[in-house]
């Protein structure tokens, strides 16, 4: 654990000056803004810098492992190091045209921690997500199948995340407890009907079955945390992705499942036609692979909904509410509860694809 105070301008200036980068020589830090989400141990800072004879430029400085653990309680020992491995390994350079990571990334070691420094892509990330844009994103996500085809050993890297769909499975006991507590909480007792609570319990209990099904699905390179907050479309329709700490190997359809699962929660506008979004992904994927992968893609997509999506919402999501999150901000609390309810019910709607039992206990 490091000092919890965020890096100040002087420290950042020292780190930037210690290694040449696209920011230039003689760098001075003009301003620092904290962007840390509080959902991971990373400090994330927007830094405006200047060098002699040039216009100021804006960079993101990310220091994984800086802060304390959050309610997500990741048990992934590689989480604080994986994104640095990703950029140092050159895998980012293998991303196919149509998908990209932020440009001009430099990884610097400082005081035992990796500092990841990259161009700010906020203008891209702030674009409005719409159902039409989601279709484009689905087609671009399918392109992540290409790097492993071109580099057969790529997915063997030991630092890649495996079974990301089960990354939050350790929250399943808490999720069961939270569901049991709903009836006694005036704020939460109408969140789900008794029949829906039974179905959600059964969905949580289906985790081993879902893991077994996921192991049967063809794999691909996955971003691992592909939500609308971590993605944007550039002016050419390319998908720009940030936050690669969960990059790994996963079933086809998984990344799309996480994107759709969190579409409304993270700022998406309009109602998605989920089968249409899945078909756009599956068609592109099947064309790239030269074989029909529609059924495996649907299975991976459903598994993401029923594991990653349920585990997050019913575990740390409901725990945060019960601990008082947004209790003083009714509108935010209502939006959070709406996402928990709608996200869980949408997940259950995909259960038949997995043949998982989702009714009765």
> Does residue 200 share a domain with residue 183?
yes
**Average pLDDT score over residue span 152-165:** 93
Quote the CA–CA distance of 332 and 327 in Å, as a whole number: 9
**Average pLDDT score over residue span 118-147:** 97
| Residue that finishes a domain, picked among 93, 120, 147 | 120
Q: Which of 143, 106, 113, 276 is nearest to 220 (CA)?
A: 143
> Does residue 109 share a domain with residue 90?
yes
Burial class of residue 93 (count of CB atoms within 10 Å of its CB; 0-12, 13-18, 19+): exposed
For the stretch 186-203, pLDDT in tens is 989 999 999 999 999 999
101 and 242 Cβ atoms separated by less than 8 Å: yes
- Residue 74: give its domain's CATH number: 3.30.200
Whether the per-residue pLDDT at 360 is higher than 60: the answer is: no
Give me the domain span that covers residue 306: 124-354
- Single pTM value for the model: 0.94
> Does residue 112 share a domain with residue 158?
no
> Does residue 268 share a domain with residue 199?
yes
For the stretch 166-180, pLDDT in tens is 999 999 999 999 999
Residue 100 lies in a domain: yes
- The pLDDT value recorded for residue 182 is 97
For the stretch 10-55, pLDDT in tens is 999 999 998 888 998 899 999 999 998 766 789 999 999 999 988 9
- Residue 136: give its domain's CATH number: 3.90.1200
Residue 359 lies in a domain: no
> Does residue 198 share a domain with residue 86?
no
């Amino acid at each position: 654990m490091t000092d919890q105070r965020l890096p100040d301008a002087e420290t950042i200036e020292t780190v930037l000056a210690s290694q040449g980068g696209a920011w230039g020589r003689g760098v001075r830090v003009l301003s620092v803004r904290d962007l840390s989400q509080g959902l991971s141990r990373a400090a994330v800072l927007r830094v405006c810098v200047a060098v002699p004879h040039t216009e100021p430029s804006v960079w993101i400085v990310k220091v994984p492992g800086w802060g304390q653990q959050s309610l997500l309680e990741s048990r992934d020992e590689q989480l604080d190091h994986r994104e640095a491995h990703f950029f140092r390994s050159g895998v980012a350079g293998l991303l196919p045209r149509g998908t990209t990571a932020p440009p001009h990334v430099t990884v610097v070691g400082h005081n035992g921690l990796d500092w990841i420094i990259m161009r700010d892509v906020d203008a891209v990330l702030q674009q409005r997500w719409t159902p039409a844009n989601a279709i484009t994103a689905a087609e671009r996500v399918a392109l992540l199948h290409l790097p492993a085809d071109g580099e057969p050993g790529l997915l063997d890297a030991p630092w890649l995340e495996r079974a990301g769909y089960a990354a939050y499975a350790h929250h399943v006991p808490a999720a069961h407890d939270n569901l049991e507590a709903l009836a006694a909480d005036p704020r939460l007792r109408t969140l789900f009907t008794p029949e829906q609570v039974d179905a959600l319990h059964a969905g949580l209990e289906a985790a081993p079955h879902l893991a077994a099904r996921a192991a049967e699905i063809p794999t691909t390179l996955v971003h691992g945390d592909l939500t609308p907050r971590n993605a944007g479309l550039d002016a050419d329709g390319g998908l720009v992705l940030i936050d690669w700490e969960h990059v790994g190997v996963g079933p086809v359809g998984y990344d799309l499942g996480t994107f759709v699962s969190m579409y409304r929660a993270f700022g998406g506008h309009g109602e998605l036609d989920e089968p249409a979004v899945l078909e756009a992904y599956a068609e592109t994927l099947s064309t790239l692979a030269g074989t029909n992968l529609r059924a495996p893609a649907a299975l991976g997509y459903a598994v993401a909904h029923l594991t990653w999506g349920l585990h997050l919402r019913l575990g740390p999501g409901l725990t945060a509410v019960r601990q008082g999150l947004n209790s003083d901000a009714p509108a935010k609390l209502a939006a959070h509860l709406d996402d928990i309810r709608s996200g869980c019910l949408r997940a259950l709607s995909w259960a038949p694809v997995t043949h998982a039992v989702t009714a009765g206990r």
